Structure 1
C-alpha cells in the first residue's frame, strides 16, 4: 500500500502539502462488507414495504413469502429435482464449451492459419443468438438432454474462444522474443510465458461464460424441459404464482453468487503472483 509522501520544505520556507493517494480502488482489500450491508438494507426495506401493504403481494411478494416458498419447495423435494437437472445441464455444457473454446482460442492466438480461418467463423457465428438454434438442435439430436447441453456448449464456446485468444494476443511480445533468444522450446514458452500471461483474461472469460450458461439453460428449459429452474419459473409465471417465480429467481441468483465465489478462489490460487 502506498503511504503518504513526507512533507518537504521548499526554498522559500513554505511546507509542501502531500497529496492523498486516490488509487485505492485498484487495490483489493477492505470494504467488502459494504455490499452485503447494502443488500440487507434493501431486503429490510422491501420486507417493510410488503408488511405495511404499500406493495401488492401479487406483483411483488415480500422476502418472507419468497423464503417460505423456497422452504416448501425444499421440503417437498421439488427444489432439488429442478436444481439438479439445471446443474447437470450447466456443468456438462459449460465443460464441453470451455474445453473446446480454450483449444480453439490458443490455436487462433498461436497459429496464423488458424487465426485467419477461426476469426472469420467466430465473427460470423458469434452474434447469432444460440437459443435460436435450439429447434434445429432438437431436429438433429432428438428430444432429450443433448440439445440443451449443445446450446449451452455453443454459447460458452464462442465467449471462451474470444477471451482466450484476446489473452494470448495481449501477452507482451518482448517476453516471447526474450524466451526465443534463449532457445526455449515452443511448448515451454506456451507453458511458462503465454499461459500465465493469458490466464487473467481466461479467468475473466470464465465469469462471462458462467453467466452465459445460466442464461441459456433457463431459456432452453423454458422452451423444452419438464424439470429445471427455467421450467419451474415458466410454470410459476403461467399460474401467476409470483412467490414461487421469485423463489426461482433467488435460486438462480444464489447459484450465480456461488459460481462467482468459486472463480474468486480459483483466481486467488492461480494468480497469486499478481
Structure 2
C-alpha cells in the first residue's frame, strides 16, 4: 500500500476553473442569443461587456470605482489595525479578554449598516460615516479571527520559550504572531468581503458616486446591462483581493 504520510495536500488544477467559467459563459451567451431569455431580465455576457466598455470610455467607471476603492481601503485599514490590536489584547491578557469578549459578543451581531444613520448624525454627511461603517464591520471580524488565532497557538511552544526565559515581547513576535498568522490571513478574506458589502450598502443609502450608487441607479432605470456591469466590477475586485491574499499566504506562510 502506498505511503500517505504526506497528509491531505490538495492541488488546484490551473485550467479547470478557467474552463468551467468559459463553459458557463458560453452557455449563458447561447441561451441569450437564441432568445430563450429576455435580455431585460438577463443580459448576455457580450451585452454586459459592451456596457462596461461604454462606461470605461465615458470615464464614469473610474469615477465610481475610485470613490468605492478609497472608502474600502480607508475603512478596511482602520478596522484591521484596531482589530489586530484588540484581538491580541484579548488573546494575551485576562482582563482584556473578560471585557473584550463581552463587548464583541454583544455588538458583533448588530448589522453595521443599521448604525449608518446614527453615524451620519455624529460625523455629518460626507465620507466619514461610510468609512466608519466599513471600519466597524471589519473591526469585529478581525478581532475574532486574531484572538482565535492566538488561542490556537500550541501552548507547549509558549511554555518552551518561557522555560528558556525568552522575554514576553519576543515570545509574541517569534511564537504567537507566526502561529496566529494563518487565522489572521483567513480573516482578511472575510473582512475584504465584509468591506465590499458594506461599501455597496452605504453607497446605496447616501452617496453620489460609487459602485453601490451606480448599481442602484441602473436598477431603478431598468438598465440591467449596466447593473450587471457594476456587479461584474465587484466580482473582479473580489477575485483580485483573493489573489492578493493568496500571494501573501504563499510568502508569509511558506513554513507550513
If the length of structure 1 is used for normalisation, what is the TM-score?
A: 0.91
Equivalent residue for 1:8? Answer: none
Q: 2:82 aligns with which of 66, 78, 100?
A: 100
1:54-79 per-position Cα deviation (integer Å, ceiling 9, x unaligned): 11000000000000000000000000
How far apart, in 2, do the equivalents of 1:30 and 1:240 lie? 39
The residue number in structure 1 matching 2:240 is 258
User: Which stretches in structure 2 are left out of the alignment for 5+ residues?
Assistant: none
2:2 maps to which residue?
A: 4
For residues 116-265 of structure 1, what are the structure 2 equivalents within 5 Å? 116-265=98-247
RMSD between aligned residues: 1.4
- Higher RCO (CA 8 Å, separation ≥ 6 residues): 2
TM-score, reference length from structure 2? 0.98
Counterpart check, 1:41 vs 2:23? yes
Report the secondary structure of 2:37's partner residue: coil
Residues matched between the structures, number: 256
Which structure 1 segments of 5+ residues have no match? Answer: 6-20
Q: What stretches of structure 1 move > 2 A for 4+ residues in a row?
A: 21-24
Q: Which has the higher helix share?
A: 2
Q: How far, CA to CA, are the matches of 2:10 and 2:130 in structure 1?
A: 38
1:14-50 Cα deviation digits (max 9, x unpaired): xxxxxxx6998x4243413211111110000000000
Q: Distance in 2 between matches of 1:36 and 1:148?
A: 35
- 1:229–1:23 distance in 2 versus 1, CA, 3 Å: farther
SS in 1 for 2:2: coil
